[in-house]
Amino acid sequence: MARARVYVTLKKSVFDPQGKTIHDALTSLGYSGVTDVRQGKFFEVALDGLTGDQARQTVEEIARTVLANPVIESYRVEVE
């Protein structure tokens, strides 16, 4: 059984209000060395009956069409 991890993040050019709020909170907690925070989403996908390239292809398709919105987000897929 293959397992995949999908990381969905806002594109670098896109302002992240949640990340900024967390960064502001960290600054007020005294973490002065933190210069930026970006929030994203993390998915663990378990696949039965798919291995290697098939699994990767399927998860890439899921990430592209469902998990991420390409207008604002980018994604990265890891398969093991």
Partner 1 sequence: MKVGVVVFPGSNCDHDAYHAVKHVCGQEARFVWHKDADLSGLDAIILPGGFSYGDYLRTGAIARFSPVMGAVKAFAAQGGPVLGICNGFQILQEAGLLPGAMLRNGGVKFLSQPVHVRVERTDTPVTAGIPAGRVLTMPIAHGEGNFYAEPEEIARLEGEGQVVFRYTTKDGRLDPAANVNGSTAAIAGVCNAARNVVGLMPHPERAAEPELGSADGRQLFEALVRVLTPVAR
Pick out residues in 16-75 that bind partner 1 (CB under 8 A). 16-18, 21, 66-67, 69, 71-72
Closer residue to partner 1, CB minimum distance, 45 or 72: 72
Taking the least distance from each CB to partner 1, the nearer of 51 and 64 is 64
Among 1, 12, 13, 80, binds partner 1 (CB under 8 A): 13
End-to-end alpha-carbon separation of the chain, Å? 9
Q: Which of 44, 27, 45 is nearest to 35 (CA)?
A: 27
Q: Name the residue with tokens 């970006």.
A: 38
Cα(74)–Cα(3) distance, integer angstroms: 20
Q: By the criterion CB under 8 A, which residues form the site for partner 1?
A: 10, 13-18, 21, 66-67, 69, 71-72
